[in-house]
Chains A and B, each alone.
Chain A
Amino acid sequence: MNADFTAEELAFQEEVREFLQNEFPTDLKAKVDASVRLDKDDMVRWQKILFKKGWAAPTWPVEYGGTGWSHTKTHIFATEMGLYGAPEPIPFGMKMVAPVIMAYGSEEQKQRFLPEILESNVWWCQGYSEPNAGSDLASLKTAAVREGDEYVVNGSKTWNTLGQYADWIFCLVRTDNTVKKQEGISFLLIDMKTPGITIKPIVLLDGFPEVNGVFFDNVRVPAENLIGEENKGWTYAKVLLTHERTNIAGVPRGKRRLKALKRIAEETEDGFGASMLENASFKQRLAEIEIELQALEYSELRTLAALSVGKAPGPESSILKIVGTELAQKMDEMFVELAGYNCLPFVPEQFEPGFDGDAIGPGDSASAALTYFNNRKLSIFGGSNEIQRNIITKAVLGL
């Protein structure tokens, strides 16, 4: 048993580190360090730098312009990116719709969509959840009715992340009402500029419209935008959800945040004459976080080792999702605790790109409450942690 990287993997790790230091734009690094939100241009700019290097799509096969890396190299890359604070690609195109197109799309669809995703010329968004179809996603109602060589789409989608930037949306739509709910769903790609689509921002607890409601009123979609076969969409969707859960553990980001917690704790008085880093209670809880992070990291490595010998990702990804998100939320609480009164000012614009006013409070602390509020989503989205526990009870424990 060993958890060592090979010499080649170590050399690759060094290469990634050097690349990040040289190529991750300093203005983006400054934003990340100051908790300033990256805008669309920032994210696209970084993604194009990765594209130039040939690293835009670590998990894609070489034939589509991917890196062809092993699972371990992909892991090393994601780890170094996370530790450095470089954002991962926006997942909707690269990690969600692309694998579905590769697996089930027609040759024409592959030619048409994949290169644009790889080059980050097109921004995708997700049309899965509906107001009445959340954890029970298969009960979705947005209908697509075939009329000649078009589908006419009516209904609404919600929790559409960053759809305000999107050019295209991939949707699960109902094409058959007469069968079991999972068997009447199709997977449709829709141009966001199509007449009849309206998008309504939903402001979250941190004051930012991170998600949207998307409304479809007699939206006519060419039938050639259907992925695979009609009524097989649920099968395709499940593939996508598995991809959504990879890297969900967030170990590198956790390590970076742990470092920040220690730094802020050192700079914060505990009110009893010592620093928070020296405070016995805080120190103990910080240690617990660090230990949990190590247990999570090794759980992820074990999953990775299984993947490397060809096993499919199974219910392990549910463990990583549950523990990773709940650990991140625990850290959010500790950032709030350290910030104390400093996180009470509600000045969300100071974390928006282009803010040039005089910020209130130190950056890490000023954003702590807003991050705490926003990250409550972590245990809700991507299959709520309740759903993940159901998966474990059914698939692992056989209950």
Chain B
Amino acid sequence: MDFSYTEVQQMLQDSVQKFVQKSYDFDTRNEIIGSETGYSADNWQLFAELGWLAVPFSEEHGGLGGSAVDLMVIMEEFGKANLVEPYTATAVLGGSLVANLATGEQKETLLGGIIGGELQIAPAMAEPNGRYNPASVATTATADGDQIILNGTKIAVENGPNADTLLVSARESGEIRDVEGISVFAVEARSPGVKIRKYRTVDGKQAAEVTLDHVSVAASNRLGDAGAALPGIESALNRSIVAVSAEAVGALEVLLQKTVEYSKTRKQFGTAIGTFQALQHRMADMFIQCQLARSIVIMAAMSLDSDDSPAEKAKAVAAAKSRVGKAIKSVGQEAIQIHGGIAMTEELDVGHLFKRVTALDLAYGDGDYHTQRFAAL
């Protein structure tokens, strides 16, 4: 048994840490958020050059192996930096959808573009009434000769404003929550009938509401076989859930660390507030929450890298998201409370991290949703 990182994973962690220290401080991040695109294209090119965009993919797909533990290493560091670049949207969820579902030819074009840093992807999965169930797809795909006509509304489309290609889940047959009948289509973001209503999210990322009004795509834009996409979607979501959970673990760690530091310097009643036992115990609890969250994300990542059955993997991932959700609420809220008013302001990074972890709690299903999923699996 050995939970230490391999030499390669260690190098990956070092390289992300160096980048963050050198080029991603609080002010820089704020500038990036305020820029036209809301992310840095220079950073994105650097991610490609450093091979980070290849981390999620197997060697046969031109990647660096595609281990979930590798992904965990990189995401944790991104979480610490509160990074806004659309790594999860393009390289993790987008890339995994392509890797899981696409034909050889599609993979070559799309994965090549992702790994090379030339292609931005926005997975368009969630719908106004679907909540977090990927089978709850009301968007329709209707054959019209060689073309497929797409109609529907997608919400919370991360990276929607900057995407070249949308990956849209749509129903070709069956009823709203049927397992069969769902396909994923690659849709050019500038296609006629695609309306992208962009917004900034509460945690500083770019997203959009996307409506598809008689959008016509060639049947060859369908990733893989008709109506058979759900297992591939679920597997891509599992990987994305591990990614955002690891991101949360990184962010929570920083929230803990900053809270402890602050409690040592903030003086009230003539002494540092960190000397009050009531607060010490609460920070000890924050530490425990961080450790449990880390442990269960490692468990889930290792499950994805093992030959566990799809059901076992799904259950490990649900457990991780559920437990991390609990840690997010307690560590996030305590970090604000122990800091006091100053953490309520935009001026301190603590509040921004709190907002990020709150959004990560909702990403691909909140803690309670995954607890119920765990119970049902």
Contact = CB atoms under 8 A, between A and B. Distances in A.
A346 B200 contact: yes
Nearest to A329: B333
Interface in A197-223: 202-205, 207
Contacts of B107: none
A144 to B, nearest CB: 23
Sorting the interface of chain B by its residue count into under 10, 10 to 19, 20 to 34 or 35 or more gives: 35 or more
Interface stretch (B236-244, B299-307, B346-354): B346-354
Nearest to B352: A205
Contacts of B340: 134-135, 380, 384
Nearest to B157: A341
A345 B336 contact: no
Contacts of B203: 344
Interface stretch (B88-96, B217-225, B368-376): B368-376
A129 B341 CA distance: 10
Given A271-B131, A271-B132, A337 B344 contact: no
Contacts of A189: none
Contacts of B345: 202-205
Contacts of A329: 333
Contacts of B129: 269
A29 B238 CA distance: 45
Q: Is the interface of B mostly helix, strand, loop or mixed?
A: mixed
Chain A, interface size: which category? 35 or more
Contact of B346 (A204, A273, A360, A380): A204
Interface string B351-372: 1001100110010011011011
A269 B130 contact: yes
Interface string B199-216: 111111001010000000
Contacts of B344: 204-205, 374, 376-377, 380
Contacts of A377: 341, 344
Contacts of B155: 341-342
A304 interface: no
A281 B371 contact: yes
B268 interface: yes
Contacts, number: 126
A336 B136 CA distance: 21
Interface string A39-69: 0000000000000000000000000000000
A384 B342 CA distance: 13
A346 B372 contact: no
A126 to B, nearest CB: 13
Contacts of B269: 135-136, 139
Interface stretch (A19-27, A115-123, A169-177, A365-373): A365-373
A135 B268 contact: yes
Interface string B147-168: 0000000011000000000000
Nearest to A381: B341
30 contacts: A135-B268, A135-B340, A136-B268, A139-B268, A139-B270, A203-B346, A203-B347, A204-B345, A204-B346, A205-B345, A205-B346, A268-B131, A271-B131, A271-B365, A281-B372, A329-B333, A336-B358, A340-B132, A343-B202, A344-B203, A344-B359, A345-B201, A346-B200, A347-B199, A373-B354, A376-B333, A376-B343, A377-B344, A380-B336, A380-B341
